[in-house]
């Protein structure tokens, strides 16, 4: 079967092409402008498609006829399905741009599809990708698959042209047609893949700011808002392809949305939880406000002096288009009865947002959040420098890699999992930095030797070594009496792995008479908190090693810095649910401590609390033991340490005195 697809290199288009190529004997023609030839090559590379199955057709949907006569003659009578996805989707688009692509482009593709039928061949089926936007931003009540022109307001260029382009298909298409109305399309539900900031993603930056500034235990208020008809791209494509090949569905429209979509407040709460931010415990019932009052307030706001200027300033400050904010109190609910009937028995169903929200968040935070702040001094210091970072594929290491790469350093990223490491390397390169992936199991000395030898062979020297990789265990000694291997493995990674890296890279630093070694230690080495004897002992060993090494290499201009890192919200601590209720640093704040170490080259960096604890332990050790003994009983052991298969969530929370202590003494690993 042969297909013609417009908008094939767009977000939905890429997944649609992949799905169509999975069908036996499928050949997909993609309509492309000559100027976008490189994008076609990228699509072929992404899909691993051969030139006999994925074929470009050069043309332009904004031009009458779209393709030349030779291409039309070649495709006439051959195409079974035409999928029209090409459109401009920009909430800040102009009317002229929207009309040219969304309306004129649709009319031209409708005419081309009719011409493709030929004189004798069967007519292709035309599949038009519309949007829930055809209901407008102010429609009240239920909007079904079968509804179209209900007198709804479609003033915004995007809403207007989606409505009008669907009308063009309904009124002028002479071949069988079907219309698909996706909701807010978000990333892939299994991988999180997304290509741009859009829809719910505009909320991610504000969510991140709240997460980083507001304590996890502090309850928040939100707003109820209207339904947010979200759908992951994989569901949208799976549903489209299935419906497209099912008989007797011509002349219908199909909403592609989640069943029982979340409200704006529920969506915000879901993403806040995915970001591990504070919980939204109550939503203000804004949806119950009379619509007439809301409309009057909007009209009044529009008449204020300098209203447009104020809107633009507010939009810029929030980082969210006001057209998106205006949709938060959406009063329409969507009934996808046609879609449910068409998908019955197929096994295709839109997953609820809470099942994949964390996947979306993690992908955004790693691949799309490029807002990395660095001081100008770092740019001058790190241009062309070779930096080795262990544990670089996530958390503190990845954030340090992003900051130093932005400053112009060459980042040698070391981590155990090759796929994860390659993924993070690609992110650094998308940011415009230089990164090199070196898979290495730091538990194995032979792997470390091979890795460092390869780094020196390829880069000849190392300017900065950041020993960041680490493993933490939260378990009391009495709970560890039969787990001696925990201590062996922790010491192997946190101590022996780190000093092997130093041993292998130190000679080249000494030869060049310059170098900087930064060891990420722990505030636990200063506070001596209970349950962390394995972790603190291993970090303390590295700390003592560094203090002994420092005077030996001072004459060779090699600096050593130990960072007594407070508790940081990284994947390492994620399984310990008690940390949801303990103040923590963000990876970006931790990355700033590493930047400070590089710029100032101090012997040590510690928080005021860590320094105070060290002094206190030296002067009043029994007082410290008394406080820590009380803390030991305030904070419960982990689920794994208790040896229970199931534990109630409330049993994993610290009690009220424990939360107060954690708030007063933020930073230690409790």
Residues with catalytic annotation?
Answer: 535
Six-digit token pair at 130? Answer: 């519309």
**Of the candidates 249, 227, 245, 258, which has an alpha carbon nearest to the alpha carbon of residue 341?**
249
DSSP H or E run through 278 = none
**What's 593-655 look like in SS3?**
HHHHHHHHCCCEEECHHHHHHHHHHHHCHHHHHHHHHHHHHHCCCCHHHHCCCCCCHHHHCCC
At 500, phi and psi to the nearest 5?
A: -65, -40
**Of the candidates 547, 455, 453, 443, which has an alpha carbon nearest to the alpha carbon of residue 495?**
443
Are residues 351 and 239 in contact, defined by beta-carbon separation less than 8 angstroms?
no
What is the C-alpha separation between 6 and 110, in angstroms, rounded? Answer: 12
What is the C-alpha separation between 279 and 218, in angstroms, rounded? Answer: 7
Q: Please, which residues bridge with residue 83 across strands?
A: 5, 127
**Of the candidates 362, 395, 377, 431, which has an alpha carbon nearest to the alpha carbon of residue 588?**
395
Which DSSP symbol is given to 304?
S
User: 332 Cβ partners below 8 Å, 6+ apart?
Assistant: 135, 136, 139, 140, 141, 142, 143, 226, 227
At 49, phi and psi to the nearest 5?
A: -85, 140
Six-digit token pair at 208? Answer: 């991140």
Are residues 304 and 111 in contact, defined by beta-carbon separation less than 8 angstroms?
no
Are residues 348 and 238 in contact, defined by beta-carbon separation less than 8 angstroms?
yes
User: 238 Cβ partners below 8 Å, 6+ apart?
Assistant: 19, 348
What is the C-alpha separation between 195 and 375, in angstroms, rounded? Answer: 29
**Three-state secondary structure call for residue 457:** helix
Residue with tokens 């509804």: 147
User: 523 Cβ partners below 8 Å, 6+ apart?
Assistant: 564, 565, 566, 567, 606, 607, 609, 610, 613, 667, 668, 669
What is the C-alpha separation between 207 and 278, in angstroms, rounded? Answer: 10
What is the C-alpha separation between 669 and 667, in angstroms, rounded? Answer: 7
**Three-state secondary structure call for residue 324:** helix
Four-CA torsion 656, 661, 664, 666, nearest 10 degrees: -110
509-531 burial, b at 16+ Cβ within 10 Å, e below that, comes to: beeeeebbbbbbbbbbbbbbbbb
User: 138 Cβ partners below 8 Å, 6+ apart?
Assistant: 152, 153, 291, 295, 331
| DSSP line for 174-232 | -S-EEEEEE-EEES-TTT----S--GGGGGHHHHHHHHHHS-TTS-EEEE---B--EEE
Considering only CA atoms, give the Rg of the chain.
29
Inter-axis angle of helices 105-116 and 157-172, nearest 10: 20
Are residues 301 and 241 in contact, defined by beta-carbon separation less than 8 angstroms?
no
Residue with tokens 């399905």: 81
Which DSSP symbol is given to 122?
P
């Amino acid at each position: 079967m042969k297909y013609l697809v417009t908008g094939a290199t767009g977000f939905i288009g890429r997944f649609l092409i992949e799905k169509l190529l999975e069908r036996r004997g499928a050949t997909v023609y993609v309509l492309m402008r000559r100027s976008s030839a490189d994008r076609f090559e990228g699509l072929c590379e992404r899909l691993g498609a051969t030139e006999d199955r994925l074929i470009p057709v050069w043309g332009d949907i904004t031009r009458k006829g779209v393709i030349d006569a030779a291409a039309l003659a070649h495709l006439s009578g051959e195409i079974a399905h035409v999928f029209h996805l090409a459109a401009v989707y920009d909430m800040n688009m102009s009317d002229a741009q929207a009309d040219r692509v969304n309306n004129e482009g649709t009319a031209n593709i409708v005419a081309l599809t009719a011409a493709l039928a030929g004189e004798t061949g069967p007519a292709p089926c035309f599949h038009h990708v519309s949007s829930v936007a055809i209901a407008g931003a102010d429609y009240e009540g239920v909007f079904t698959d079968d509804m179209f022109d209900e007198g709804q307001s479609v003033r915004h260029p995007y809403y207007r042209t989606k409505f009008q382009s669907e009308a063009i298909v309904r009124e002028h298409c002479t071949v069988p047609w079907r219309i698909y109305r996706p909701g807010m399309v978000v990333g892939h539900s299994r991988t999180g893949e997304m290509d741009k900031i859009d829809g719910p993603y505009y909320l991610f930056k504000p969510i991140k700011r709240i997460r980083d500034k507001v304590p996890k235990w502090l309850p928040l208020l939100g707003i109820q808002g209207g339904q947010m008809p979200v759908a992951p791209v994989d569901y949208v494509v799976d549903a489209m392809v299935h419906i497209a090949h099912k008989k007797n569905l011509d002349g219908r429209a199909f909403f592609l949305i989640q069943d029982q979509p979340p409200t704006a407040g529920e969506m915000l709460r879901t993403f806040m939880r995915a970001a591990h931010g504070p919980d939204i415990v109550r939503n203000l019932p804004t949806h119950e406000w009379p619509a007439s009052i809301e409309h009057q307030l909007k009209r009044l706001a529009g008449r204020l002096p300098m209203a447009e200027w104020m809107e633009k300033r507010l939009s810029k400050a929030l980082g969210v288009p006001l057209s998106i904010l205006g949709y938060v109190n959406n009063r329409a609910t969507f009934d996808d009865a046609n879609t449910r009937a068409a998908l019955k028995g197929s096994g295709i169903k839109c997953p609820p947002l809470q099942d994949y929200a964390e996947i979306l968040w993690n992908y955004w935070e790693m691949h799309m959040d490029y807002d990395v702040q660095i001081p100008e001094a770092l740019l001058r210091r790190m241009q062309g420098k070779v930096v080795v970072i262990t544990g670089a594929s996530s958390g503190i290491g990845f954030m340090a890699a992003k900051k130093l790469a932005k400053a112009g350093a060459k980042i040698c990223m070391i981590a155990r999992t090759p796929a994860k490491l390659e993924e993070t390397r690609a992110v650094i390169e998308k940011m415009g930095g230089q990164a090199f992936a070196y898979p290495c199991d730091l538990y194995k000395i032979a792997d470390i030797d091979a890795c460092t030898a390869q780094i020196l062979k390829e880069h000849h020297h190392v300017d900065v070594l950041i020993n960041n990789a680490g493993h933490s265990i939260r378990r009391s000694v009495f709970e560890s009496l039969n787990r001696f291997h925990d201590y062996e493995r922790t010491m192997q990674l946190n101590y022996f792995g780190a000093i092997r890296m130093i041993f292998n890279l130190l000679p080249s630093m000494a030869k060049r008479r310059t170098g900087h070694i930064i060891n990420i230690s722990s505030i636990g080495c200063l506070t001596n908190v209970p349950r962390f004897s394995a972790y603190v002992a291993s970090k303390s060993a590295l700390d003592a090693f560094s203090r002994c090494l420092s005077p030996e290499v001072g004459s060779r201009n090699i600096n050593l810095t130990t960072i007594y890192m407070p508790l940081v919200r990284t994947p390492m601590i994620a399984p310990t649910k008690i940390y949801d209720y303990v103040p923590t640093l963000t990876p970006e704040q931790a990355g700033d401590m590493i930047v400070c170490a590089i710029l100032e080259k101090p012997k040590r960096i510690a928080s005021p609390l860590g320094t105070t604890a060290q002094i206190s332990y030296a002067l009043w050790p029994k007082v410290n033991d008394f406080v820590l003994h009380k803390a030991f009983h305030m904070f419960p052991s982990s689920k794994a340490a208790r040896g229970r298969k199931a534990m109630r969530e409330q049993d994993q929370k610290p009690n009220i005195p424990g939360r107060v202590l954690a708030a007063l003494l933020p930073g230690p690993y409790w």
